[in-house]
C-alpha cells in the first residue's frame, strides 16, 4: 500500500490518457491498468474510491468498446471492494453499463453484466432490478433469436 502513494503521480498521467486525441489502445490499456491496480490494492482502494470511480465512469462513455469493457471491469472491482460506498455512483454507472448490453462484442457485454452483478451483490437494494432485468431480457431475446444463430 505504501507504494501506491509513490505511484499516484503515474496514475494521474494514465488518467490523462483518457483524452480523445490519444489512441484508443492507450485508453484501453490505461483503464485495464487502473482495474488491475484497484484489484491488487483490494480493500486499500477505499481511500481512492472517488478518483477511481470517476475514471471508470469516464471510461464507460468512451467510443472504443474495449475501453468501455475495461471501465466496466474496473467499476465491478470497486463495487466488490468498496461495497455500499459505491452506491452514489450507481445511476451514472447503470446508464453506461446497460447501454453496453447491446454491444456486438461478447467481452464488452460480459464485463458490463459482470459489473452489474457486482453492483447487485454489493448493494442489492440500490439497484433497480426490475429495470435492469427488463433491459437484460430484451437484449437476451435479441441475442438468441434464430436470425443470430
Give me the percent of the chain exceeding a pLDDT of 90.
44
> pLDDT tens across 88-143, in order?
999 999 999 988 988 889 899 999 999 999 999 998 888 877 776 655 545 544 44
pLDDT at residue number 149: 41
How far is residue 49's CA from residue 51's CA, in Å, rounded to a whole number? 6
Amino acid at each position: 500500500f505504501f507504494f501506491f502513494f509513490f505511484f499516484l503521480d503515474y496514475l494521474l498521467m494514465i488518467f490523462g490518457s483518457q483524452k480523445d486525441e490519444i489512441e484508443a489502445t492507450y485508453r484501453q490499456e490505461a483503464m485495464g491498468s487502473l482495474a488491475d491496480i484497484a484489484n491488487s490494492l483490494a480493500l486499500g482502494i477505499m481511500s481512492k474510491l472517488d478518483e477511481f470511480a470517476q475514471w471508470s465512469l469516464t471510461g464507460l462513455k468512451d467510443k472504443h468498446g474495449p475501453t468501455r469493457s475495461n471501465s466496466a471491469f474496473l467499476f465491478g472491482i470497486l463495487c466488490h471492494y468498496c461495497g455500499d460506498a459505491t452506491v452514489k455512483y450507481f445511476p451514472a454507472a447503470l446508464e453506461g453499463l446497460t447501454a453496453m448490453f447491446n454491444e456486438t462484442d461478447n467481452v464488452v457485454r460480459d464485463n458490463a453484466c459482470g459489473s452489474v452483478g457486482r453492483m447487485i451483490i454489493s448493494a442489492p437494494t440500490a439497484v433497480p432490478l426490475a429495470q435492469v432485468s427488463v433491459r437484460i431480457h430484451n437484449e437476451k431475446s435479441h441475442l438468441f433469436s434464430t436470425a443470430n444463430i
